[in-house]
Amino acid sequence: TTLWGPVSRAGGTRFRLWAPDSDAVLLEVEGRAPIPMAAQGQGWFTLDAPVGEGARYRFRVAPGLVVPDPASRAQAGGVHGASVLTDLAAYPWRQAEWRGRPWHEAVIYEVHAGAMGGFDGVREALPRLKALGVTAIELMPVAEAPGARGWGYDGVLPFAPHAALGAPQELQALVDAAHGEGLMVLLDVVFNHFGPDGAYLHAYAKRFFDEGVHTPWGAAINFAEPAVRAYFEECALHWLRDYRFDGLRLDAVHAIPDPDWLDHLARRIRAELPGRHIHLVLENEHNAARHLAPDGPFDAQWNDDGHNILHPLLTGEREGYYEDFAEDGAAKLATVLGQGFLFQGQHSAHLGAPRGEPSAHLPPTAFVLFLQNHDQVGNRAFGERLPALAEPEALAAATALLLLCPQIPLLFMGEEWGATAPFLFFTDHNAELAPLVREGRRREFARFTAFADPATRARIPDPNDATTFTASIPDVAEAAREPHATVLALYTHLLGLRHARIIPHLPGAVALGAEAVGEKAVLARWRLSNQEELTLACNLGEAPAACTARGALLFEGREGAAAALAAGTLPARTTVALLGP
């Protein structure tokens, strides 16, 4: 039973709203007189009205307050405007028989749809991404949010695609075209908070929030309330059914105070969508291994531990959350490669508390590994990508580790050619919020040595300036020029090796162990399902490491590296991959 949002019925539409703080609710359809809705008890109001496709409507929840539908499927005029009845079932799916691809085949490419020209721009890029070796496009959140640009994490109408990115039918066409190319499409969803502008539920459904539990965004969402649980469960199912997304990435679930609900959500999704490959991935600072396959209902978690070790190994940075990872980087990287998480219950100096659960029993595919993503690039003051921070040969060695490791690799748009454009934090807030966001962001960096000087902090780009967004758009034309063409060729070659020699044998793969063999060097081994042993020897440092490994050569980052490894030396700044019985 659908509780939230409009439902098409014979002769019109059934409207429903949960407004427990309202004594009466009127449906206001443009061009028609307001119609009272019937109180159904427990805060619900319903109405069957003879209106259909294209009608614009809002709810009057108090004499001086008219609001959009919190489960609106489309908006006219932004988050403060009217909701629009949209027949999503009318889209003529060309790939109606698509059932998805298994998780172990995932090579994820994270994109900001706006920075790629909206839904149509992403659709035009699909053949290029398929040729690269990508198998899954992951869209940063696309729900309606204030303004025309932003990262998507300030959404307030989570059922409705942001009109600035394209119409609902254009999003459906993107997913349909991706399936035609054999590509999955995943969606990043935010179920842990609403943005600061346009979250009208605070005004007429205060029980939607728990004022006794606080998050970085304010009062926590109250998942003890059945109507709230239904809201987000139906939202998840809406994207998977009506748009045929192949999976969801759930943002910052550590800010959801009811972790048991997460497992309930995942199990409901799987029960209601049988026969499809639906992939559910967490971002979870708690490293709660119990949610992950094979025992839990989620496929994987973003492995921030892996990134947070690799980044200081490549850049030497140690401040902020890198303080937990900068010392003994090779040994910590070996733990991540052999066991998944670094933090499995140990005390975190950065958090001041224990973090994580044991993860060594999980398959390698339970972890999504990356060198860059929207957070790790965009949360830097100047949005620098790794090519601006790391030595090229060391970065190439880390790339080989990423793309040949049995963990699931994720790339960030433009990474594959070493894009020079930064990815900055950008917003499009109103005149009241914009200066608060700008100054708040600059204050965040005051604790870093490089930004102790107020004059330096003042150079941090203003998130609300339109040029901050346009500066973040990668220039695809770079990929045809050196040195970018060489970087692209490396990514394409490595992904070709992954598809041919590793992906077919990932189901059932197990880690055989990993060890530090130098200050910035590791040796890691896995047994694949065909009983071949995959060995990766990676040295990100400037000096050779004492290390021996043998097997059939799969990849060597520099000529002669495999022979040197067989003789007992792993050269500097290279990765060697071997396959053997």
Task: Give the separation between CA 295 and CA 272, rounded to whole angstroms.
Answer: 20
Q: Which residues pair with 518 in a beta bridge?
A: 521
Tell me the pLDDT tens digit for each residue of 42-68: 999 999 999 999 999 999 999 999 999
pLDDT at 195 over 80: yes
**Under a CB-based contact definition with an 8 Å cutoff, are residues 469 and 383 in contact?**
no
Q: In the numeric block, which tokens belong to residue 481?
A: 């020029």
Tell me the pLDDT tens digit for each residue of 207-253: 999 998 888 888 899 999 999 999 999 999 999 999 999 999 999 99
**Under a CB-based contact definition with an 8 Å cutoff, are residues 520 and 541 in contact?**
yes
Average of pLDDT values for 476-489?
98
Task: Give the separation between CA 515 and CA 570, rounded to whole angstroms.
Answer: 14
Q: In the numeric block, which tokens belong to residue 111?
A: 């994109």
pLDDT of residue 443: 83
Average of pLDDT values for 536-541?
98
CA 230, 236, 239, 242 dihedral sign is: negative
**Of 404, 579, 384, nearest to 490 (Cα)?**
404
pLDDT of residue 248: 98
Residue 197 region by backbone torsions, left for phi larger than 0, else alpha for psi between -120 and 50, else beta: beta
Q: In the numeric block, which tokens belong to residue 324?
A: 């937990």
Tell me the pLDDT tens digit for each residue of 263-313: 999 999 999 999 999 999 999 999 999 999 898 999 999 999 999 999 999
pLDDT at 446 over 90: no
Q: Are strands 136-139 and 218-221 parallel, antiparallel or unpaired?
A: unpaired
> What integer best gives the mean pLDDT of the chain?
96
**Under a CB-based contact definition with an 8 Å cutoff, are residues 8 and 52 in contact?**
yes
Q: What percent of the chain has pLDDT over 90?
A: 90
pLDDT at 350 over 90: no
pLDDT of residue 452: 84
Q: In the numeric block, which tokens belong to residue 325?
A: 């990872």
**Under a CB-based contact definition with an 8 Å cutoff, are residues 152 and 123 in contact?**
no
pLDDT of residue 272: 97
Task: Give the separation between CA 134 and CA 489, rounded to whole angstroms.
Answer: 14
Name the CA dihedral angle for 544, 386, 350, 360, rounded to a multiple of 10 degrees.
-60
Task: Give the separation between CA 158 and CA 135, rounded to whole angstroms.
Answer: 26
Task: Give the separation between CA 491 and CA 148, rounded to whole angstroms.
Answer: 33
Residues 6+ apart with CB under 8 A from 464: 426, 427, 428, 429, 434, 437, 438
Tell me the pLDDT tens digit for each residue of 463-479: 999 999 999 999 999 99
**Under a CB-based contact definition with an 8 Å cutoff, are residues 339 and 360 in contact?**
yes
Q: State the DSSP code for 520.
A: T
Task: Give the separation between CA 384 and CA 425, rounded to whole angstroms.
Answer: 11
Tell me the pLDDT tens digit for each residue of 18-44: 999 999 999 999 999 999 999 999 999
pLDDT of residue 456: 86
Average of pLDDT values for 363-391?
96
- Say what the pTM is: 0.97
Q: Confidence class of residue 454 from pLDDT cuts 50, 70 and 90?
A: confident
What is the CA angle 517-523-529, rounded to 5? 165
Task: Give the separation between CA 460 and CA 458, rounded to whole angstroms.
Answer: 5
pLDDT at 505 over 90: yes
Q: Which residue numbers are catalytic?
A: 251, 283
* Range 11-14, long-range pairs (CB < 8 A, 24+ positions): 11/50, 12/48, 12/49, 12/50, 12/51, 12/52, 13/48, 13/49, 13/51, 13/52, 13/55, 13/85, 14/46, 14/47, 14/48
Task: Give the separation between CA 464 and CA 254, rounded to whole angstroms.
Answer: 28
Task: Give the separation between CA 257 and CA 163, rounded to whole angstroms.
Answer: 31
Task: Give the separation between CA 143 and CA 123, rounded to whole angstroms.
Answer: 18
**Of 44, 40, 77, 41, nearest to 58 (Cα)?**
77
Question: C-alpha 84: how far from its chain's center?
Answer: 28
Tell me the pLDDT tens digit for each residue of 423-442: 999 999 999 989 988 988 88
**Of 343, 332, 393, nearest to 519 (Cα)?**
332
pLDDT of residue 50: 96
Q: In this structure, how many other beta carbons lie within 10 angstroms of the beta carbon of residue 290?
A: 12
